[in-house]
Chain A
């Protein structure tokens, strides 16, 4: 590391900076824009170390990124007695410090400080809003509440549930699978509380809404300005009229706000303390009877938010998926559906998990001897209380498929069994199925897997795979294994039972392609029915297998 130039020399290259005092080569007090700062240089031995800057003895400054808490130095030391406030000039792990030289680190942090102190009011507002939750959470008395919303764009009533020290506010129409759970003595774990009414208010225009920060704490006036802005409508007309119509009779009201910041929503909550518990409209309770507020730290725990925050596409959200088959492939597909936003799943499988299969069954360790659909349901619902799984301990039959078709948005077959799939393919064709259907299967040996996407309004179906040009039924034409490879990879148990040899890598890559394909279907990027071949080398889209004109199932479809 080049260390020829000292911090002092670097600071002196800035016209706007006056060096006050040099304590060591790496610790210097300087003046910039009439304020005193202490800079501590990066550690020379540690490439990843960064320089740090503290504001010295300045109670009034309320720029963004200046931390709220003081570090008091009240004993004689190398540094002068006084109050120091750190300045966060880097987003966490946003810059690779190791790539900067010592001088570059000093120059970079000073440039950032100058930029911070030169911010216009508009820039400051944006920075404060970006860091809204830091300031908000710093201003609360560590009172945490968990929020579960089904949507975050409309006004809604929330219900309060408590369990020991945990409090949940849940949108009225959300069914949480654990909310009715009981302890070993049969008592409900979650108690519903009706003494405090709670509401969710989405903010549609966040201009001029700044978090509470040093010398700018929130009062009831901030809440009044949000619901009844003078120049800016912070809430929609619809929300306003809901506030005007909703009658409330509790003395305290919880209000949870949400406003968009970058790609997600920032949530914060207050308890509005009112003069009394008289029955009035929610608007009047806040605007006319509200006298004080208590700030709450909010953690959004709903399924929508947890998906959004990791960048999951919204295409799966609120979609109900029928998963036919809970074998190895189904056991890998199901949790991925849940982790990608599908919270409503129906599973059919009559099989029980056996020891021989547990190494390639997603939740194998716990579940040998139990029904696969049930175990999947149990584990999936543990992902999140908004995940609902309907488990059927039987295999799907034609009558059930006809019924399910009325309620689901997507069907995925992971049964592998050709006879069953040909049967269901015919039925779906007959029923004029309007939702996308995915047939997913593996070949023995762990080399090849396939996905067939069928829209029954178009040509190309599962039976096409088993039909030759003459319209005669043949073996699956999509198969890539040779007969010998297939034969070599079939394991027999001696009682007529067979098991194909394959490990989890084929499962993982097949599920990955399946997720991408579902996404493309719902985004409208796949227009025709397609077959996908997946191997460890590549994903290919053969165009000579389907549709087959002579197919007795879809051949006549136009």
Chain B
């Protein structure tokens, strides 16, 4: 099997398999502050909220166990509170109260469109942010608080964070190759979008995770799991899900992919990316196509060295290229094997 050890080493290299104690401590302190301060602030605005009614929900890659190393640690923990949204129709206000509850100098707190973000800096460089999506539970229905602090666009959007967690955990848990493929695809995204910082330019991780789940091809043999083949087939299947239009010259003029959330609000995960700029989807498709081509080449070439060079183009330099077989053979022939 080609590059088995290299993929194993690569996975060990990029993988984060648990929260660090540092992160756990920061998250727990943050959660305590939310539970202790948020009710008082809400009370000042005549909104009743008991500490015991606040529920924290683990979300994101740490929940699905698909976290990879990154420049900034990205943690998602949802805050759910009981709330009459007809009386509190402006979610931006509630998000502001949440911000107020946790806004102390050790962290920098800001309001993002889907969440409140607590960011941590060291020597003026951000190393961690904890995103806190805020959910309101009203008459058994759950709503996500959407809207930036001063944006005109805001809403309580129906959601099901527990349902989403259950759906993804059910798909991923117990399927280690799928988990690895998701991590590889996220790593590919980090590589090809490393210079992107515009809103919605980068395909969302949750979208890639769902596409990977939908398109996953398990590849295994007597020698074990073949991650190279599984990754190529999965990424190729994702590519084939795109709907593309070419002009007469064969250039892509339009590309589109969609994946609806399996739980309320059942919206398309890629909608914002599509709506922000038509070029974003074309870029996504083109980059994915390049990756698939490289992985296909990796499968087709005979030498492990050449194959790894193609994979490295997709996954980055953490994927280590083994020495050329000819070089290895020459040195092997002249290696010292005798010891006194």
Identify which of B18-26, B86-94, B186-194 touches chain A: B18-26
Q: Does A240 have its Cβ within 8 Å of any Cβ on chain B?
A: yes
**Complex Cα–Cα for A93 and B338 (A):** 10
Contact B73 A230 (CB under 8 A): yes
Q: Does A162 have its Cβ within 8 Å of any Cβ on chain B?
A: no
A-facing mask of B304-339, CB < 8 A → 1, else 0? Answer: 000000000000011010010001000101111000
Contact A231 B16 (CB under 8 A): yes
Contact B336 A231 (CB under 8 A): no
**Complex Cα–Cα for A420 and B84 (A):** 90
**Complex Cα–Cα for A207 and B17 (A):** 13
**Complex Cα–Cα for A111 and B330 (A):** 12
Contact B320 A120 (CB under 8 A): yes
Instruction: Using CB atoms, name the residue of chain B closest to A91.
Output: B336
Contact A94 B317 (CB under 8 A): no
Identify which of A56-64, A95-103, A269-277, A292-300 touches chain B: A95-103
User: Contacting A123 at CB < 8 Å: which of B127, B320, B333, B334?
Assistant: B320
Q: Does A229 have its Cβ within 8 Å of any Cβ on chain B?
A: yes
Distance in Å: Cβ of B21 to nearest Cβ of chain A:
5
Q: Does B286 have its Cβ within 8 Å of any Cβ on chain A?
A: no
Answer whether A230 and B318 are a contact pair too, CB < 8 Å, given A96-B336, A99-B334, A100-B334.
no
**Complex Cα–Cα for A122 and B315 (A):** 13
Chain A residues contacting B331 (CB-CB under 8 Å) are 95, 108
Answer whether A228 and B320 are a contact pair too, CB < 8 Å, given A95-B336, A96-B336.
no
Chain A residues contacting B73 (CB-CB under 8 Å) are 230-231
**Which residues 217-262 in A have Cβ within 8 Å of B in the complex?**
228-233, 237, 240
Distance in Å: Cβ of A25 to nearest Cβ of chain B:
24
Q: Does B128 have its Cβ within 8 Å of any Cβ on chain A?
A: yes
Contact B22 A122 (CB under 8 A): no
Chain A residues contacting B317 (CB-CB under 8 Å) are 120-122
Chain A residues contacting B18 (CB-CB under 8 Å) are 233
**Complex Cα–Cα for A111 and B23 (A):** 44
Q: Does B13 have its Cβ within 8 Å of any Cβ on chain A?
A: yes
Contact B336 A93 (CB under 8 A): yes
Answer whether A122 and B335 are a contact pair too, CB < 8 Å, given A228-B21, A229-B20.
no
**Complex Cα–Cα for A229 and B21 (A):** 7
Distance in Å: Cβ of B87 to nearest Cβ of chain A:
41
Chain A residues contacting B22 (CB-CB under 8 Å) are 228-230
Chain B residues contacting A231 (CB-CB under 8 Å) are 16, 20, 69-70, 73, 127
Instruction: Using CB atoms, name the residue of chain A closest to B333.
Output: A99
Answer whether A94 and B13 are a contact pair too, CB < 8 Å, given A111-B327, A231-B69.
no
Chain B residues contacting A233 (CB-CB under 8 Å) are 18, 20-21
Answer whether A95 and B69 are a contact pair too, CB < 8 Å, given A111-B327, A120-B318, A229-B22.
no
Distance in Å: Cβ of B324 to nearest Cβ of chain A:
10
**Complex Cα–Cα for A100 and B23 (A):** 54
Chain B residues contacting A230 (CB-CB under 8 Å) are 20, 22-23, 73, 127-128
Distance in Å: Cβ of B25 to nearest Cβ of chain A:
8
Chain A residues contacting B333 (CB-CB under 8 Å) are 99
**Complex Cα–Cα for A496 and B73 (A):** 85
Name, among A95, A126, A230, A237, the residue most crowded by chain B CB atoms within 10 Å (CB to CB): A230
**Complex Cα–Cα for A228 and B16 (A):** 15
**Complex Cα–Cα for A126 and B336 (A):** 23
**Complex Cα–Cα for A170 and B311 (A):** 48
Chain A residues contacting B127 (CB-CB under 8 Å) are 230-231
**Complex Cα–Cα for A122 and B336 (A):** 27
**Which residues 99-123 in A have Cβ within 8 Å of B in the complex?**
99-100, 108, 111, 115, 120-123
Contact A95 B20 (CB under 8 A): no
Instruction: Using CB atoms, name the residue of chain B closest to A235.
Output: B21
Distance in Å: Cβ of B85 to nearest Cβ of chain A:
37
Contact A240 B21 (CB under 8 A): yes
**Which residues 1-52 in B have Cβ within 8 Å of A in the complex?**
13, 16, 18, 20-23
**Complex Cα–Cα for A549 and B2 (A):** 55
Contact B13 A96 (CB under 8 A): no
Chain B residues contacting A95 (CB-CB under 8 Å) are 331, 334-336
Instruction: Using CB atoms, name the residue of chain B closest to A121.
Output: B317
Contact B335 A96 (CB under 8 A): yes
**Complex Cα–Cα for A95 and B335 (A):** 4
Distance in Å: Cβ of A188 to nearest Cβ of chain B:
40
**Complex Cα–Cα for A120 and B334 (A):** 26
**Complex Cα–Cα for A229 and B26 (A):** 12
Distance in Å: Cβ of A143 to nearest Cβ of chain B:
30
Distance in Å: Cβ of B190 to nearest Cβ of chain A:
14
Contact B21 A207 (CB under 8 A): no
Chain B residues contacting A93 (CB-CB under 8 Å) are 336
**Complex Cα–Cα for A243 and B73 (A):** 24
**Complex Cα–Cα for A350 and B306 (A):** 70
User: Contacting A207 at CB < 8 Å: which of B13, B20, B128?
Assistant: B13
**Complex Cα–Cα for A95 and B16 (A):** 38
**Complex Cα–Cα for A557 and B39 (A):** 75
Instruction: Using CB atoms, name the residue of chain A closest to B26.
Output: A230
Contact A122 B16 (CB under 8 A): no
Distance in Å: Cβ of A476 to nearest Cβ of chain B:
41
Contact B21 A237 (CB under 8 A): yes
**Which residues 427-473 in A have Cβ within 8 Å of B in the complex?**
none
Contact A122 B20 (CB under 8 A): no
Chain A residues contacting B327 (CB-CB under 8 Å) are 111
**Complex Cα–Cα for A527 and B292 (A):** 52
**Complex Cα–Cα for A450 and B335 (A):** 40
Chain A residues contacting B336 (CB-CB under 8 Å) are 93-96
**Complex Cα–Cα for A96 and B335 (A):** 6
**Complex Cα–Cα for A229 and B336 (A):** 40
Chain B residues contacting A96 (CB-CB under 8 Å) are 334-336
Chain A residues contacting B320 (CB-CB under 8 Å) are 120, 122-123, 126
Distance in Å: Cβ of B54 to nearest Cβ of chain A:
26
**Complex Cα–Cα for A108 and B18 (A):** 43
**Complex Cα–Cα for A120 and B321 (A):** 10
Chain B residues contacting A126 (CB-CB under 8 Å) are 320
Instruction: Using CB atoms, name the residue of chain A closest to B323.
Output: A115
User: Contacting B335 at CB < 8 Å: which of A94, A111, A207?
Assistant: A94
**Complex Cα–Cα for A108 and B334 (A):** 11
Chain A residues contacting B334 (CB-CB under 8 Å) are 95-96, 99-100
Distance in Å: Cβ of B331 to nearest Cβ of chain A:
7
Chain B residues contacting A228 (CB-CB under 8 Å) are 20-22
**Complex Cα–Cα for A232 and B70 (A):** 11
**Complex Cα–Cα for A99 and B335 (A):** 9
Answer whether A122 and B21 are a contact pair too, CB < 8 Å, given A96-B334, A230-B127.
no
Distance in Å: Cβ of B330 to nearest Cβ of chain A:
8
**Complex Cα–Cα for A126 and B331 (A):** 20
B-facing mask of A109-149, CB < 8 A → 1, else 0? Answer: 00100010000111100100000000000000000000000
Distance in Å: Cβ of B311 to nearest Cβ of chain A:
13
Distance in Å: Cβ of B137 to nearest Cβ of chain A:
33
Chain B residues contacting A207 (CB-CB under 8 Å) are 13, 69
Instruction: Using CB atoms, name the residue of chain A closest to B70.
Output: A231
**Complex Cα–Cα for A285 and B252 (A):** 61
B-facing mask of A77-105, CB < 8 A → 1, else 0? Answer: 00000000000000001111001100000
**Complex Cα–Cα for A115 and B318 (A):** 16
Distance in Å: Cβ of B62 to nearest Cβ of chain A:
12
Instruction: Using CB atoms, name the residue of chain B closest to A125.
Output: B13
**Complex Cα–Cα for A126 and B18 (A):** 22
Name, among B22, B73, B327, B336, the residue most crowded by chain A CB atoms within 10 Å (CB to CB): B22
**Complex Cα–Cα for A95 and B73 (A):** 44
**Complex Cα–Cα for A96 and B339 (A):** 12
**Complex Cα–Cα for A402 and B320 (A):** 59
Instruction: Using CB atoms, name the residue of chain B closest to A287.
Output: B22
Chain B residues contacting A123 (CB-CB under 8 Å) are 320
Give 5 pairs: A residue, B residue, CB < 8 Å, sorted on A.
A94-B336, A120-B318, A122-B320, A207-B13, A230-B128
Supply 10 further A-B pairs (C-beta < 8 A) apart from A96-B334, A122-B318, A207-B69.
A120-B318, A120-B320, A207-B13, A228-B21, A230-B73, A232-B16, A232-B20, A232-B69, A233-B18, A237-B21
Q: Closest 4 A-B residue pairs measured CB to CB?
A: A120-B317, A99-B334, A122-B318, A240-B21
